[in-house]
Structure 1
Amino acid sequence: MKLFSTVALTAALIVPQVAQAKTVSGIQLADDLTIAEQQLSLNGAGVRSKFFMDLYVGSLYVPEPATNLDQVLAQPLAVIRLNITSGMITSDKMTDAIVEGFEAATGDNTAPIQANIDEFMGLFTEEVSKGDQFTFVTHKGAGVTSFKNDEEQATIEGEVFRQALIKIWLGDDPAQKSLRKDMLAK
Structure 2
Amino acid sequence: MIIKMVSSCFLCTALALSASAAFADVKLKGVSVPEEVTFSGHTMVLNGAGVRSRFFIDAYVAALYLPEVSTDADGILASGSPLDIRVVIISDLVTADRFAESAMDGFVRSTHGDLGPIRPQVETMIKTFRNSLSVGDVFDLVYNPDAGTEIYRNGELLEVVEGLDFRSAMAGIWLSDDPVQTSLREKMLGL
Normalising by structure 1, report the TM-score. Answer: 0.85
Aligned 1:36-185 pairs, distance under 5 A:
36-73=40-77, 74=79, 76-140=81-145, 143-185=148-190
Distance 1:76 1:145 in 2: 14
From the CA coordinates, give the structure whose radius of gyration is larger: 2
Distance 2:24 2:92 in 1: 24
Letter of the 1:61 partner, please give it.
Answer: Y
Partners of 1:84 and 1:131 within 8 A in 2: yes
Q: Report the RMSD for the aligned CA atoms in angstroms.
A: 1.7
Alignment pair present for 1:22 and 2:22: no
Count of matched residue pairs: 169
Distance 1:148 1:165 in 2: 16
| Unaligned runs of at least 5 residues, structure 2 | 1-21
- Paired residue secondary structure (1:108): coil
Higher strand share: 1
- Paired residue secondary structure (1:23): strand
Deviation of 1:68 after TM superposition, in Å, equals 2.1
More deviation, 28-37/67-76? 67-76
Partners of 1:94 and 1:124 within 8 A in 2: yes
- Paired residue secondary structure (1:66): coil
Higher helix share: 2
Partners of 1:90 and 1:127 within 8 A in 2: yes
CA deviation map 1:119-165 (0-9, x unaligned): 11110121011110100001348531000010000000011111100
Deviation of 1:20 after TM superposition, in Å, equals 3.5
- Paired residue secondary structure (2:34): strand
- Paired residue secondary structure (1:174): coil
Distance 2:146 2:164 in 1: 5
Partners of 1:82 and 1:134 within 8 A in 2: yes
- Match of 1:7? none
- Match of 1:11? none
Distance 1:118 1:75 in 2: 22
| Unaligned runs of at least 5 residues, structure 1 | 1-17
Partners of 1:41 and 1:61 within 8 A in 2: yes
Normalising by structure 2, report the TM-score. Answer: 0.83
Partners of 1:139 and 1:162 within 8 A in 2: no
